[in-house]
Amino acid sequence: MAHASDMHSLEFKLPDLGEGLTEAEIVRWLVEVGDLVTVDQPVVEVETAKAMVEVPCPYGGVVTARFGEEGTELPVGAPLLTVAVGAPAAADATGRQTEGVAASDRKSEGSGNVLVGYGTSEAPSRRRRVRSAAPTAPAPQKPAAPEPSSAPAEPQRESVHNGGHEGPVPVISPLVRRLARENGLDLRELHGSGPDGLILRADVEYALRAASAQARPAAAPAAAPAPSPARAKAGPSGIRTPLKGVRGAVADKLSRSRREIPDATCWVDADATELMRARTAMNAAGGPKISLLALLARICTAALARFPELNSTVDMEAREVVQLDQVHLGFAAQTERGLVVPVVRDAHARDAESLTAEFARLTEAARAGTLTPAELTGGTFTLNNYGVFGVDGSTPIINHPEAAMLGVGRIIPKPWVHEGELAVRQIVELSLTFDHRVCDGGTAGGFLRYVADCVEQPTVLLRTL
């Protein structure tokens, strides 16, 4: 057992999040003052401009103070909590002793600085409360958040007490949990519509609409809607919305792109009838379905192999254009948190089936807010399918520090001259925005023309594989 003189307190600060991220918002505390934590145990859930992640603590000991309430935004380097290490053992309800962190273990009591969302060892699935915590002044606390599940196989599902027995509430998405928590909705009362009873965002929204409909007759007819917590009060200049989180990160990146990149755009209409027929035939043959985005991505990687100048970045300090060996393909995904660009690693080495699966995985993670910084950075070329918004064309802003972006509009029936006769064909507008420092219009036009040829005649792509 460690003596009081062996105890000392360590302060755990919000670690460097990497990739230019400088702050994070506390979404939910996973530990309370007095809890015994071990090395790399997640202690707080935070939301950054990139994703929602759990922060592991690099120290083992007793939590003596927490800093920041839920909803507070903290800068990198700000204190998160303090941990008393070398804490004495405490008796549990049966009179037995629970081990603290011995003073002789101080050399191994911490894992060092860790990146947000990543520890150096497997975190425990259950936390323990110590009755006699080390004497320090704790920060004011909110009511305790529900404990995380103790089942290792389902680390992201909430656990609740139900009739004296602990059981899992099937919720994976932290955004779903947060939506329910902010609206005072008890997830134990819901029946999920997802696989194995998984509670989806649609289930929570349906329950909230039902509750609102029941309460509406009793509400005052002229009741004003509650102001959005994310917006300041309206003043003479209108409503002010802070540029932070995802929106702030996007604003900074787009502004930098406009400042630094001399971009130009070229576009062409293409007859996508044969591409759509080819996809229909592929999916009719059985096996995993192939998405249109995957076929367009496959065309992009083939085009970049012919015109590698567009898979580049510009190093202005060295005054060099750096042509990259691998194609890490970003794709624009609109989510409730804003626009994000997940990245498919080594897209040039994947077939259509693999690309389809990876697009689906990353899109689901983007909607759930669980993308890691590694999945949101490192892209070398971006594919932007803005046709899903029902528009034909666009002049997109390049995703800095990349050199080009291919835009794809909606595919709709239009009159088109086909084999010398007027016919109704499936037409799409393709646009390429490129950094004029890496190539001239001839290269950009050649790339776009090759893409259009593959869209119009998919056999062109087969001949180049």
Which residues does the annotation mark as catalytic? 436
In the chain, the amino acid numbered 148 is: P
Please tell me the distance from the alpha carbon of residue 230 to that of residue 232, in angstroms, as a whole number: 7
What single string gives the DSSP state of each residue in 245-291? HHHHHHHHHHHHHHHH--EEEEEEEEE-HHHHHHHHHHHHTSSS---
- The torsion defined by the Cα of 10, 12, 18 and 23, in degrees rounded to 10, comes to -140
Given a contact cutoff of 8 angstroms between Cβ atoms, the answer to whether 41 and 82 are in contact is no
Please tell me the distance from the alpha carbon of residue 11 to that of residue 16, in angstroms, as a whole number: 15
b/e per residue 85-95 (b: at least 16 CB within 10 A): bbbbbbeeeee
Whose CA is closest to 326, among 310, 357, 349? 349
Other Cβ atoms less than 10 A from the Cβ of 11: the count is 13
Please tell me the distance from the alpha carbon of residue 303 to that of residue 95, in angstroms, as a whole number: 71
My answer on whether omega of the bond before 221 falls inside 30° of 0, hence cis, is no
Half-sphere exposure of 93 (CA within 13 A, CB side): 2
Task: Read off φ and ψ for residue 356, nearest 5 degrees.
Answer: -60, -45
Given a contact cutoff of 8 angstroms between Cβ atoms, the answer to whether 33 and 132 are in contact is no
Given a contact cutoff of 8 angstroms between Cβ atoms, the answer to whether 167 and 151 are in contact is no
Separation of CA 276 from chain center:
31
Task: Read off φ and ψ for residue 59, nearest 5 degrees.
Answer: -120, 155
- Cα 361 to Cα 364, 365, 399: the distances in Å are 5, 6, 21
Please tell me the distance from the alpha carbon of residue 229 to that of residue 238, in angstroms, as a whole number: 16
